[in-house]
Each structure stands twice: as C-alpha cells, then as structure tokens.
Amino acid sequence: MKQRLAATLGDFPDVAASLSLFPEYMNGAPETPIGVAVSGGGDSVALLMLLALWGKRPLEVFCVDHGLNPASAHWTQGVADLCADLGADLGLSFTALHWTGDKPATGVQAAARRARHHLILKAARAKGIKVLCLGHNADDGAEAEAMRAEGSTVGTPRLWSASPFWPEGEGVFYFRPLIGVARARLRAWLTAAGVPYIDDPANDNPAYLRAKVRQVLQASAPSVSGATRADTSPASQGRMIAHISSPVAQRTGEVAGEVPSEGANHLIHVGAFQLSEVPPADRLAAMIVCAGGGEKLPSAREVAAILDGISAGRTVFTLCGARIEVTRDGVLICREPGDMTRNGTVPAVVGDIWDGRFRLLSYAQGGEIRPLRGHAKRLQRADREKIAHLPPVARASLPIVLSGDTPRLMAAGDLHCLVSARLRAALGAALGQVRNEISLSNL
C-alpha cells in the first residue's frame, strides 16, 4: 500500500506539501510514538496515510466508536483493517475506544465530541503521547468561521494548539498538518491511491449547525460535476467514494502567539495574574480560562462585555470560574473563591490535579483538601503570615488541608501550580515553543 500511496502523491503536490510541516523533532526521541485520531473519514484516513509515508515516528492510532450509528462498529473495524494493511513494520498500533456512557437527548454531537477527546486523551497519555495528530483541513477552517458568523463560539483550528480539554489534555499538543489542504483534494488522493474511507451521515444532518454551514459552503463552491454522494451503509465498507477536487487553500502557516512574560507577575505561583494593564481580548480570554481552572473558553461576546464594563468604570467581573478585578495597580485575574464551593460542592480532583489548577504531589498529612475560603481565621499564625501579602481573593482560593476543624497550608513541595504552564502552552503553542515543551519534558 505504501508504494501505491507514494506513487500517486506526485499528482497531489498540495497534499504532499503538508509533509514539510511535520517537524523532525516531533515529540522528542525517534522511538517516542505520536498519536493520530482516525475516524475512518477521508480527512483522518489521508492524515494516517501521510504519517505512514513520513515514517519517522511509531504511530499510535486511536479510533472512537460513538455507538450513534448502526454502522459505527464497521467503521471502526475499517480503520483497524487499514492499520493492518499498512503493516506492523511501520511500528503502528491501533486502539479502538468506545463511548459507552449515557447519551443525552439533546446536544449529542457536542457530548460525543467531548467524550471522544476525553477517551483519546486518556488512552494517549497512558502511552506517554504528547503530540496527537488530527485531520482538520482547510474546509474545517472555513466552516468554523461560518459557524462563528452564526453565533457559535467554536474556535478556528490551528496547526498547533494545546489540547483545549482540561485537565485531561494537560501536556498534550494537537497537531493539524492538513490545515492548509482542501478536503476534496485529500479525498481525491485517497481515491487515486485506492484507499477506502467512509462518510458519517451526521456530517450531512442539517439539524447540526456544522452540517448546515458545510452545505452552504459546498453550494457556493465551484461545481463538482461527477462527484457521487457517499454510501454510508455497512456494505459500503471497503468501497471507494469518488470526490472531485476543488481549488486548494494556501493556508499552511501559523502565527505564533506571543509568550507572556512572567517577570512582573509575582502572583503566578498561586495561580493568579497581576497585570499592570488590561490585556487584549484573546489573551484575557486565555487568562480567564487558565485562572478559572475549567475548560470552557469564554465567548468573544462575554470578553467584549468585560472590556466594555472596564471602560465604563466597573471593577469586578466573574466569568468561567475566574474573577477579574480592576485594582489600583492594574488588573487581577484569579480563581473566584465563591464559585469553588457553590451549592455545597467541592473542587474536583481529576487524576492528581485539584481544581484544574494545582498538581497534588506527595503529601502525607491526613485530611481533606479544600479552598481556604471560610477557614482563614483558624489558620495558625505562621501560616497566616506566609500568605498575608496575597490579595484576599487569591488567598481564599488556595488549597489547604483540613483535618477535623483545623486548616493547614500545604507545603510548597506538596503541590505545583499549573496555571502558568497552561497559559504558556495556550498562547505560545507555535513550533518553537512546542519543541521546547516537548524536548524539555522528554530529557
């Protein structure tokens, strides 16, 4: 199969060009595997084929069976078969994952997406993977833009990004080398090479905004005479689907986000940002989500409302679990302590990460970990003095150990704040930064 793929690739220079985006240093040492998420659709199958041709790292292929279509088990088997065809000599291994949880009656696409990312991230992290390749292409970028015009908060897929799923995606980068290639060209290449792929009918279901904008964009694209609709029945497994090429988008570059300086920020070790001035909207959004410890990015509209509020003289805002406070010294962005125990809940611990902000290292003091809010008065004097310099809200959101009624600060060696590294990854996930992050952690 590899020879056939290589032979046909010469006729698809735009597809072949994406190979130049694969960095030599991908994921550190040559024996370290990289992950690839393959649904069995044309985009991710083309991605898998290109990675196989590239051949410089062992590949871990993950395919999620959502169980939403009667044919989904066949689709998953189709990906398994493709992997077997590519051959074990490539150092390729395949993992099928299953979404077995309850399926919601509404918002099933969003729930499936979230479940899919969580399943893949968990499996990938268990295998030590730090780079996960996804098959987003130029059409996905255009669709995201059109969806935002319809009021969606979906982000534009980028060549590199830190996984937005948190804390499950901590330390995992998403890599989308096909982001400059048109979907039709990827499929035309597969067709020429005789590689089968499927089309999920959910992609055509007008009940979903993504499918709706896809149809509108397709209708306004140059005509594609001779294209056939995909057959999605189980019987179509192994049969090729013909698609005709369309003009190729030329977007292959990626603009690096500027990495924030921490020099002036003396609060970052407690997960708060103290800034001398209000940051621009995109950075403010990233700081809010990182300080808040959650994974839901605020929408552009919500961030704009805060910026307008600040201009109008308001000083305190809460959004996505974070508090944004205009102070005499500038702006403080930190966890909103009031949100942490709302309705009697306590901050979640996922793996060894507390409240999405602190990694709990070894600590041998018995007791429960809780936010300081409501317990500060009972802290020992020495503990109180250690944190007296912090703004009260940043203090109140710190984790403490509560034994019975006695609160204690955690020792510096017992926890590690993740907020700064997360922000750096979110804003600075350009190639150089990724190399840095990955090679450092692999040494």
Ligand X SMILES: Nc1ncnc2c1ncn2[C@@H]1O[C@H](COP(=O)(O)OP(=O)(O)OP(=O)(O)O)[C@@H](O)[C@H]1O
Binding site for ligand X (CB under 6 A): 37-39, 43-44, 62-64, 113, 116, 134-136, 140, 154, 157
Which residues does 167 contact at the CB level (< 8 Å), separation at least 6?
Answer: 295, 350, 351, 353, 356, 418
Please give the annotated binding residues, written as ranges: 39-44
The answer to whether residues 93 and 61 touch, using CB atoms and an 8 Å cutoff, is: yes
Residue 123 has what DSSP assignment? H
Q: Which is nearer to ligand X, 144 or 267 (CB)?
A: 144
Q: Which residue is nearest to ligand X (CB)?
A: 135
CA–CA dist 139, 166 (Å, integer): 26
Is the Cβ of residue 39 or residue 397 nearer to ligand X in the bound state? 39
| Cβ(358)–Cβ(416) below 8 Å | yes
For the bound state, the minimum distance from the C-beta of residue 70 to ligand X, rounded and expressed in Å, comes to 15
Q: How many CB atoms lie within 10 A of CB 163?
A: 24
Shortest distance (Å) from residue 386 CB to ligand X: 42
Q: Closest by alpha carbon to 371, among 352, 398, 392?
A: 398
Q: How far apart are CA 117 and CA 132, in angstroms?
A: 11
Rank residues 165 and 317 by Cβ distance to ligand X and give the closer one.
165
| Shortest reach from residue 419's CB to ligand X, in Å | 23
Structure tokens at 282: 């995109």
Query: At its nearest, how many Å lie between ligand X and the CB of residue 37?
Result: 3
Comparing C-alpha atoms, which of 140, 341, 167, 160 is closest to residue 253? 160
Q: Smallest distance, Å, CB 209 to ligand X?
A: 11
Min dist CB 131 to ligand X, Å, is 13
H helices present in 11-70, as ranges: 13-17, 42-54
Report residue 16 CA to chain centroid gap: 26
Question: 409 is written with which tokens?
Answer: 């600060």
Of 157 and 260, nearer to ligand X (C-beta) is 157
Nearer to ligand X, 98 or 435 (CB): 98
Closest to ligand X by CB, 64 vs 159, is 64
Cβ of residue 213: shortest distance to ligand X, in angstroms? 12
**C-beta of residue 60 within 8 angstroms of C-beta of residue 127:** yes
Nearest residue (CB) to ligand X, 113 versus 435: 113
CB of 59 to ligand X, least distance (A): 13
Question: Residues forming the annotated binding site for ATP?
Answer: 39-44
Nearer to ligand X (CB atom), residue 95 or residue 397: 95
Helices assigned H by DSSP within 169-280? 183-193, 209-220
For residues 213 and 419, give the distance between their C-alpha atoms in angstroms, rounded to a whole number.
35
Quote the CA–CA distance of 190 and 80 in Å, as a whole number: 17
Q: How far apart are CA 358 and CA 236, in angstroms?
A: 49
Is the bond leading into 167 cis (omega within 30 degrees of zero)? Answer: yes
**Closest separation in Å from C-beta 162 to ligand X:** 13
Cα 255 from Cα 159, distance rounded (Å): 9
Nearby residues of 110 by Cβ (< 8 Å), 6 or more positions away: none
Smaller CB separation from ligand X, 129 or 267: 129
Task: Give the start-end residues of each E strand in 45-159.
Answer: 59-65, 92-98, 131-133
